[in-house]
Chain A
Amino acid sequence: MKNLAPMPFLLLTTALLTLASCTTTVDYAPRYPVVAENTSTKLLGNFIELYPREFKAVHRIVFAIRSREFDFTGYFLMRRPETYHAAAYAEAGAPVFEFQNLPTKSMVFKKPDIFSEQEIIEGVMQDLLHLYRKQDKQIAVLVDKTPNERTFTFGTPETVINEFTIDLQKGLVRSLTAMEGKVIRTVEYSEPKAFPKWRTKIPTRIKVKNLAFGYELAIDVVEFHPELPSTFDQMMLQP
């Protein structure tokens, strides 16, 4: 075997590691407030209340990571702003994932060995929070206004910022998360659909690209129930 000079070897190793992890970094361009008008205020209100305080959803998910794809059915109980319990099962019923997010901690009860706990806690669980957490209206800033779209940010560029773009006709169409000046997550939303007992159409096709961990989630909302029954086991959303 040929000797490799330290520097080229280091470069090669770094390049291969980068390729292997499939992670990419994209700079987040600073955004500046623009003047809001009635339409923007109304869109923001609708976005904040896009989902009910409590709901149950069933998702069909394709998880693409490290050039491999895994599909499963996910069950999701949400109590906004940020408490949820999720479990996923393979096609024929085998349990794959189970985890719970509380305001104070995140817990993983079940996961396949091929996924690290970090990928679940800091990746997938944060993705779900980004999708379904109730954002704080008080910190919303309108940063872009086009004839068809309004874009709002929540948070501060110095720490974590979540940005959501709402189409006047289609509703929520895309979002992203940036941390320390880098985009770590992008999301595309489509196929808004109405469900019984809920006033607003919700996106039923959601594509998450997690740039920090180098994976993608394609999520289809199969079922959506905008309330939890009275027989609901409260422990599912408690420590």
Chain B
Amino acid sequence: MAKPMPQFILMMLMIAAASGVSRPLHAKPAAAAPEALNDQEKRIFLTQMRNTLASVHTVKMTITQRRVLKQFMDELKATGVFYFKLPDKLRWETSTPYKSIIIYNDKKVGKFNFEDGKWRKLEFGAADFVSEIMSNIIGWSRGQFEDTEEIYGMQVFKGYKVILTPKDKGIAKILNTITLDIDETTFHVRKVTMQEAKGDFVEISFSAAVENQPLPDQLFDLKSPTS
């Protein structure tokens, strides 16, 4: 059975990518949070986010992921492109330092690896797991954070910054917080930071977003990942 922590991490990354955009990377994750919104302000924020993002039917953007592993003294940066198309199509394409693609289309998942100069579809072992996640992602990417309230405490701060804190002690041993930086005007997620208990973190930034441009269905072909 899927562990909640990795599942949620993946989910949050996809949500961010599906909704979001642009700010340069910062050297450190999760800066001190500003003033927290009260319950009423939080409800207004979520409603505004959902309403604003309802007009976004497609998104294409550049993604930059940093994984910082303190113990391994490593900072691995990955770059790629993300595509989202309503009602149910996602494509996460990593271009450096390696090439791979995840495609989600109509509740099915295809995973491709670039090998020997061509794309090869994997017999992806985690397809059911990822498909289940993806089925929730699209709704979440529209600002429906309350769906996770049973598992994660949620605070919203002016700015906007959404900080999710695991309620489960087992998860909390691994994961401290998930922080989403959200644009005050567009409500796009600009950056997601997952701060792990050991001091490691993953940070995803989104830039060069193009909204509501036609995205051909071939981009989401589960059999062949047309570039």
Which residues of A line the B interface, CB within 8 A?
56, 58, 60, 62, 64-65, 67-71, 73, 75, 77, 85, 87, 89-96, 113-114, 218, 220, 222-223, 228-229, 231-233, 236
Contact = CB atoms under 8 A, between A and B. Distances in A.
B100 A71 contact: yes
A94 B122 contact: no
10 contacts: A62-B113, A70-B124, A73-B67, A75-B76, A87-B72, A92-B202, A93-B65, A95-B174, A113-B1, A222-B98
A69 B123 contact: yes
Nearest to A94: B6
A232 B73 CA distance: 7
Interface string B73-89: 11010000000000000
Interface string B119-134: 0001111100000000
B98 A60 contact: yes
B191 to A, nearest CB: 14
B194 A93 contact: yes
Contacts of B71: 85, 233, 236
A94 B67 contact: no
A67 B123 contact: yes
B5 interface: yes
A62 B74 contact: no
A223 B97 contact: yes
Given A71-B100, A90-B10, A56 B72 contact: yes
Given A71-B111, A75-B74, A95-B6, 4 more contacts: A69-B122, A69-B124, A92-B202, A113-B1
B82 to A, nearest CB: 11
A88 to B, nearest CB: 11
Nearest to B121: A69
B64 to A, nearest CB: 13
Contacts of B94: 91
Given A62-B113, A64-B123, A92 B73 contact: no
A93 B74 CA distance: 13
Given A93-B9, A222-B98, A73 B122 contact: no
B117 to A, nearest CB: 12
A89 B6 CA distance: 10
Give the residue among A95, A220, A223, A231 with the most B Cβ atoms within 10 A. A95
B182 interface: no
Contacts of B202: 92-93
A64 B115 CA distance: 14
Chain A to chain B: the 6 pairs with minimum beta-carbon distance, closest first: A94-B6, A68-B125, A93-B202, A69-B122, A60-B98, A92-B13
B125 A69 contact: yes
B5 A94 contact: yes
Contacts of A231: 73
A218 B120 CA distance: 13
B93 to A, nearest CB: 11
A58 B76 contact: yes
A71 B6 contact: no
Interface string B45-88: 00000000000000000000101010111101000000000000
Nearest to B196: A95
A90 B6 contact: yes
A68 B13 CA distance: 24
B14 interface: yes
B88 to A, nearest CB: 19
Contacts of A71: 100, 111, 113, 122
Contacts of A96: 6
A222 B97 contact: yes
A96 B9 CA distance: 12
A152 to B, nearest CB: 28
A148 to B, nearest CB: 22
A73 B65 CA distance: 13
B173 to A, nearest CB: 12
B209 interface: no
A47 B92 CA distance: 40
Contact of A62 (B73, B122, B126): B122
A237 B122 CA distance: 34
Nearest to B127: A68
Contact of A73 (B76, B102, B113): B76
A85 B92 CA distance: 30
